[in-house]
Structure 1
Amino acid sequence: MTTLGSAFVAVTLALTAATPAGTSAGAAGEPSPAAAGAPAPDRSGGPAVVAHRGASGHAPENTLAAVDAAAELGVEWVEVDVQRAGDGELVVLHDNDLARTTDAAERHPDRAPWGLDDFSYPEIAELDAGSWYGPEFAGERVPTLGEVLDRMDEHGQKLLLEVKSPELYPGIEADVVAELREHGWLAPRTLRTSLVVQSFDAASVRTLHELAPRVRTGLLGNPPVARLADHAEYVDQINPRHTTVTADYVAAIQELRGAHGRKLQVNVWTVNDGPTAFALAGLGVDGIITDHPDVVRAALSSGVASPEPVS
């Protein structure tokens, strides 16, 4: 049996064992919540489903519309990216430039390559960050981090915040902590259950941990097993690309205690089809980051991998 097949069997057995006698994950004649078109809650004990850049399979990434789309799908955890504009404002954007997800090139043809730090936030706020995705999102803006924090608070969502390219923005860790504090995201309950800050840059994550020791942190990437104990001193999660993980790697991470004394967690990215999500659940990952949280959640909640990936 292939590794993928073994994972499917493992998860199917686990789901069967968790189903009370006389019932099934989708009882005959009674459609599952996903099949009925209603948001299905994450299965207790299974991987958390995290909406990547908001529900970016449903709305333009890293916008308030994407945050709203995740809320409409009933997804608690939302991942977004933060960087710093030229005037110091923290903005939610993935790329280091504005070319791909806004009309900056059209509006400002003389300012190539449209680097984020070459524009003030008032200039950025005038850009269209939605039309590239679809005409129904025309006029959607690049939001500030504060706007996203407030909108997610309104929805009761939980935040996985990625600090992008911190080497370009000296001191951004302190700026992020200050913004989180200003918008009420450093309250004890939020810190325990609803906030993780991550980055690919280990030095940046360590700095953030030193500035705000109560904030849970994650290191993106695939550090070697021999270095995991070192990272565990200041992180709570190791979050690798999904194509690189194995059951042994997941187990090696989860054997360790993180900065807050709890078992290190593993969130994998970016997974957009049911079969892959189903197999990763069999490896024991703690979270799955996806552009299509509805597809992933349906596969995990029903115990049946959807047959077709989402393009």
Structure 2
Amino acid sequence: MPRLRAPIFLAGLAALAPLVVAGPAAADRERRVWAGVQIIAHRGASAYAPENTLAAFRLAGQMRADLIELDVRQTKDGHLVVVHDRTLTRTTDVKRRFPKLKPWRVRDLTLKQIKKLDAGSWFARRYKGERVPTLAEALRTIKAARAKALVELKNPEEYPGLTRRLVAQLEDDPYWTSYERLTVQSFSWRYVKAVNDALPAVRGTVLGRPDSAELFGVRWYAEAVHPSKQSVTAQYVRDAHQRWLEIYAYTINDEDTMLRLLEYGVDGITTDRPDLLWDLRQG
């Protein structure tokens, strides 16, 4: 049977009946609808701390994010680490530390080598010494923050065994395979399905914008779709909800766009500024 979990009901109602702001009653209605919208901290609170670091995850927890999003890749020796880019050049000092390892791809370095890198100084001096975390370290930090985790598999086809290692790690900690505390997402949808096949209790999200026909197939192994902010329309939100899929949108850091998407009835917003969305959600 398909995984037909209903999206957040209040957000769904917003999609079916757009709000018209007309006095206190309408304002109260808005607040009730928006209260159910998930705050998704993009690579942690990455507007304020270096992305995909424990510092960014802790700060996102302090800002009361519902989900903390992070990116996973695999090292040369088969460890899962939290890095967005294929290479380590943008967010670490890898060029200075290992000048002979060009092009400095994550898959070409061992965990021991990656752990020697400074992943904070590029952002601000006070974050000097922040390290690239392993997935296990990141999940422990998110668990301590009492948030949920949204794990993105980055280019999983480039990392043999990544899905198997992820599943094994999650199986070792039942905390993440119960009560929908963890969601796996990817632009490579078949890997989302592979995780779902192995761990049905882990939520699935497909990145991108499946068309109306594809939405029917997606709902067999995922609970949500996660398109870019530019591609989200009120009609698309309705289409997703009619197929019992939640809909998130990325990456939104300005109030006007957040308000527009909230009015469309999205179920979650991915942002570098979880504090801004918290304030809007509170009304």
The DSSP-based 3-state class of the residue aligned with 2:48 is: coil
The one-letter code of the counterpart of 1:87 is: D
Contact 1:277 1:296 in 2 (8 A): yes
The correspondence for 1:44, drawn from 19, 35, 49, is 35
Partner of residue 87 from structure 1, selected from 58, 77, 85: 77
| Higher Rg of the two aligned structures | 1
8 Å contact 1:11–1:282 — kept in the other structure?
Answer: no
Q: Does 1:10 align with 2:19?
A: yes
Give the alignment's Cα RMSD to 1 decimal.
2.1
Alignment pair present for 1:56 and 2:46 = yes
Q: Does 1:271 align with 2:252?
A: yes
Maintained 8 Å contact 2:177/2:201: no
2:182 maps to 1:195: yes
Considering Cα pairs closer than 8 Å and 6+ residues apart, tell me whether 1 or 2 has the greater RCO.
2
Which whole-Å CA distance do the structure 1 matches of 2:92 and 2:22 have between them?
Answer: 46
Q: Are the equivalent residues in 1 in contact too, given 2:21–2:27 (CA < 8 A)?
A: no
Q: Report the secondary structure of 2:65's partner residue.
A: coil
1:218 maps onto 2:172 in alignment:
no
Over 3 Å counting, the alpha-carbon distance change for 1:15 and 1:94 in structure 2 is farther
Q: Is the 8 A contact 2:183 2:203 kept in 1?
A: yes
Alignment identity in percent?
A: 39
1:176 aligns with 2:166: yes
* TM-score (normalised: structure 1): 0.81
Give, in angstroms, the shift of residue 101 of structure 1. Answer: 0.4
Is this contact kept in 2: 1:277–1:300, CA < 8 A? no
Q: Could you tell me how far 1:299 is from its partner in structure 2?
A: 2.6
Whole-Å separation in 1 of the counterparts to 2:77 and 2:22: 54
Superposition deviation, residue 14 in structure 1: 9.7
Query: Which contiguous aligned blocks of 4+ residues in structure 1 show a shift greater than 6 angstroms?
Result: none
How does the TM-score come out when normalised to structure 2? 0.88
Task: Structure 2: state its 5+ residue gaps.
Answer: 1-14
For 2:57, which of 42, 67, 80 is the aligned residue?
67
Q: Deviations over 1:97-134 (max 9, x none)?
A: 11000000111122111010111001100100000000
Q: Which residue of 1 aligns with 2:134?
A: 144
Following TM superposition, by how much is the alpha carbon of 1:77 offset from its aligned partner in structure 2, in angstroms? 1.3
Question: Which consecutive unaligned segments of at least 5 residues does structure 1 have?
Answer: 1-6, 26-41, 257-262, 303-311
The verdict on how the C-alpha distance between 1:232 and 1:164 changes in structure 2, with shifts beyond 3 A counting, is same
1:136 Cα deviation after fit: 0.4
Count of residues paired in the alignment: 266
2:215 to 228, 232, 243: 228
**Aligned mates of 1:58, 1:169 — CA distance in 2:** 30
Identify which of 95, 109, 116 aligns with 1:119: 109
